[in-house]
Amino acid sequence: MLSIYSDRHRLHHGKTELIDGLMQPCFEMPQRLDMVLERVRSARLGEVQGPDAFGLAPVLRVHARPYVDFLASAWQQWQALGRSHDALPLNWPVRGLRTDRIPHDIDGQLGYFSMDAGVPITAGTWTAVQEAADVALTGARHLQWGQRSAFAMCRPPGHHAASDYMGGYCYLNNAAIAAQYLRDQGCRRVAVLDVDYHHGNGTQSIFYDRADVMFISLHADPLSEYPYFLGHADETGQGEGIGFNRNFPLPLGTDWNTYRPALDEACASLAAYGPDALVVSLGVDTFEKDPISGFRLRNQDYLRIGEAIGGLARPTLFVMEGGYAVADIGVNAVNVLQGFEARA
C-alpha cells in the first residue's frame, strides 16, 4: 500500500491542553506519527512518498474563507501582542450570545472559531495543517489515478474540525477535504467511514445535508464521551441528506464482541450505498490501553477491522486520525491496513 507522509507535521507541537480541569501536556504529539511511520517501514507495507502541493482551493471547498484566514493569521496576531506561548481560547459564543460578528481581537477569534481548549496554535501550526491536508489530497489523487488504496499519515488529525471551527486537536478536516476532492474529480458518490473512538462531529456537519457523501461513524456514546453534543443515533441527515448519515454510539467498555456487530451493520450500509470511493477516518484510540478513551479493542482486532473494510472492495483512502497509546499506535494502524490488504 502506498503511504503519504511529511516531516512538516513536527512544526505543530502544542505544549498544553485543558483536560480533566487541568492544563496538561498534549496527548496529541509528534511521536504519534513517528511510531506510525516506523511501523509502516518495519512491516514493509509499501512505498512511502511525500505530498504534492494543492494550494488552498481544495481546502476552501470544505472550509469557510473567514475560518481559513483566521488559521493563517492567528499566530502572527498572537505574537504581535508579545505572546510566545501557545495560543488557546478562553471563551466561546454559547446560546444567547451573538455569532453574526467576528471579533477583531485574537482572543475573541480563538473562541469564535473553536469548540474547546484542545487546539493550541503554535508558530508552526498553519504550515503543519496545510501539509496534513496535502497529505490527504495526495492520497486521494492516487485513488483518482487508479490506485486501489492509499494511507495518508496526517497530523494533526482532522475529523473534529467543521467548516468554520476547530476542536479536539483538529484544525482542517483532512478526510472531508479528500472526500470533496474525490467528488470534484468525478466520483459520483463517496463515503466516509469513521472508526475513531470519538465521533467525527466535524465531518458529519460538513456533509449532513448531502446525499453524494455518506457519513458513518462508530464511536463512544456522546452521552458519556467527547464531543458530547453530536453523534447520537437519531442524527440521520437533513434535507437531501436524510438517510445518508449513520451513527453507531457504543457504550464505554466496548470490546470486539460489541464492536463487531456495529461494524458489520455499518459495512452493510456502505455496500448498499455503493460509493465510487471510500475514505476511512482511521482512529485507533479504541485500543484497550489508550489513555483518554474507554473501549477495549486489542491489537488483533484491528486486523479484523481492516478485513471488514477490505471486503467492501472499494478504492479506499485511509486518513490518520486519533490514537494516543503511543507505543501501540503504529501496530494498530498498520494492522488495519494489513487486514485490508489481505481481504481486498
CB count in 10 Å sphere of residue 105? 10
Helices (H) and strands (E) in the chain, counts: 10, 10
C-alpha angle 290-294-299 in degrees, rounded to nearest 5:
50
Backbone angles phi, psi at 30, to 5 degrees: -60, -30
Return the closest-CA partner of residue 317 out of 173, 182, 158.
182
Whether the CB-CB separation of 260 and 276 falls below 8 Å is answered with: no
The set of residues, in sequence order, having a beta carbon less than 8 Å from that of 304 and lying 6+ positions away, is: 256, 260, 339
What DSSP character marks residue 261? H
Determine which one of 160, 198, 199, 219 is catalytic.
160
Return the closest-CA partner of residue 182 out of 62, 53, 273, 336.
62
Examine the residue annotation and report whether 104 is marked as an active-site residue of this protein.
Answer: no
Q: How far apart are the two ends of the chain, measured CA to CA in Å?
A: 11
Query: What's the rounded Cα separation, in Å, for the pair 45 and 42?
Result: 8
What DSSP character marks residue 288? T
**C-alpha neighbours within 13 Å on the C-beta side of residue 114:** 26
Catalytic residue set: 160
